[in-house]
């Protein structure tokens, strides 16, 4: 059975390799830059980045509650406002 600790370790390995390649400084920069670069990868590979990001957020949220859950996913909406950047 895969646990969230297993998933966290896989993510950590990816972030560590990304950091070696890019030299990103802080954990926040490492993760956000990796996510942004995955968006660029999706663009060049003709993958729907926002759809995949929504799918990933759904899986992350559900797995936090129940790592073995395979039911309906929660609704996730991403809004991009080009006039201002909000965090």
Indicate whether 13 belongs to any domain.
yes
Q: What is the pTM of this model?
A: 0.83
Indicate whether 71 belongs to any domain.
no
Indicate whether 39 belongs to any domain.
yes
Task: Dump the DSSP string for 15-80.
Answer: HHHHHHHH---SHHHHHHHHHHHHHHHHHHHT--HHHHHHHHHHHHHHHHH-TT--SPPPP-----
Question: What confidence tier does 1 reach under pLDDT thresholds 50, 70, 90?
Answer: confident
In this predicted model, what pLDDT tens digit does every residue of 34-47 receive, in sequence order? 999 999 999 999 99
In this predicted model, what pLDDT tens digit does every residue of 46-68 receive, in sequence order? 999 999 999 999 999 998 888 77
How many structural domains compose the chain?
1
Please give the pLDDT value at position 69: 73
Instruction: Reply yes or no on whether the pLDDT at 27 is more than 90.
Output: yes
Please give the pLDDT value at position 84: 54
């Amino acid at each position: 059975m895969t646990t969230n600790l297993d998933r966290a370790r896989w993510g950590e390995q990816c972030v560590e390799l990304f950091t070696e390649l890019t030299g990103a400084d802080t954990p926040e920069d490492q993760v956000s830059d990796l996510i942004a670069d995955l968006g660029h990868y999706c663009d060049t590979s003709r993958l729907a980045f926002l759809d995949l990001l929504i799918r990933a957020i759904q899986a992350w949220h559900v797995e936090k509650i129940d790592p073995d859950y395979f039911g309906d996913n929660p609704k996730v909406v991403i809004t991009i406002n080009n006039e201002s950047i909000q965090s």
